Amino acid sequence: MKVAVTGATGVIGRSAVAELVAAGHEVVGLARTEEKADLLRSLGATPRVGRIGDQDFLVDLFSGADAIANLATHVPIGFAGALPGAWRANDRLRTEGVRRVVEAARVAGVRRMVQESVSFLYADQGDTWVTEGSPLDITRATEPASVAEAQVQDYVCDSRTGVVLRFGFIVGNDPMTCWQLKAAHQGRSIGSGDPDGWLHPVHTDDLGSAVVAALTAPSGVYNVGAEPVRRADYVQAFADAVGRTSLSFMSALMTRLAGGRAEPMTRSLRVCSDHFTASTGWTPTRGRLDADWLHDLAVTQVLR
């Protein structure tokens, strides 16, 4: 297939481009700069320099494509997420950006769209398993992702397929994991929510293969991730990776001070990805989070 990728140079995008190329697909990727274009060339894709806000450019980018993977995000790292306006760019990508992508896909006649989303849209479910039919909790923080999903649903018809991937919390070779490892190395708190609550992780190694699998999935919403883990076990994996005995959790007061954007990250989400596996055959290569997920990054970025 010919696949057009927006957000092609981000964490999900780089993984997706590499896996799509490895699977034999022809990939055209959006790059915002010539430097980013060189990165895409090195991954085996054909870059096109432009902006997601340029509608004519998007139509041209999508022309002749069999599918689009819209993976554009702009997630602030660490404490920067608590600053006023820190999430504005990411919100625009998931509202106005997705609207533009969907409109351009219609004009270009593209028949399949894959859209990244997040599993923390779900309401806190305690120890109950979370499936695609579980209730959502839409707040100011989660509304942009919900709007993105709704726009993809509007794109779907008898001749068009829309696939939404609700990824878990990304862990691996990415800026947020690196920030958390550095905080853990310094002995700072990285845990949030109830230590006995559940967290839904996904390793960066498994992002791209999920996008490839989505090219064969029927229209719908799919959870994508590894086995859920207790939040205490998640924090302990970071402690083990940096050679500490243990790490503490942020207090409820500190979480409140971080603002409403932090609340979805504290929800207990025991998310099940079986529906995606049954529909596509996809399974994570990193099925269970432990310190091995973090070892290489800790050695190269934190402990050197």
pLDDT the model gives residue 299: 86
Mean pLDDT, range 235-247, rounded to an integer: 95
pLDDT band at residue 257 under the 50/70/90 scheme = low
DSSP state of 218: P
Q: What is the pLDDT of residues 165-201, one digit of tens each?
A: 999 999 999 999 999 999 999 999 999 999 999 999 9
DSSP state of 245: S
Contact by Cβ (8 Å): 181, 294: yes
Select the more confidently predicted residue: 252 or 218.
Answer: 218
CATH number at residue 234: 3.40.50.720
Main-chain dihedrals φ then ψ at residue 174, nearest 5 degrees: -150, 160
pLDDT the model gives residue 261: 82
Burial of 230 (0-12, 13-18, 19+ CB in 10 A): middle
pLDDT the model gives residue 259: 67
Range of the domain at 198: 2-302
The dihedral through the CA atoms of 124, 273, 203, 95 has a sign that is negative
Write down the pTM of the prediction.
0.95
pLDDT the model gives residue 212: 98
Mean pLDDT, range 78-101, rounded to an integer: 90
Mean pLDDT, range 214-222, rounded to an integer: 98
Residue 300 pLDDT > 90: no
Mean pLDDT, range 116-130, rounded to an integer: 98
| Spatial separation of the C-alpha atoms in residues 7 and 13, rounded to whole Å | 5
- How many structural domains compose the chain? 1
Residue 61 CB neighbours (<10 A): 23
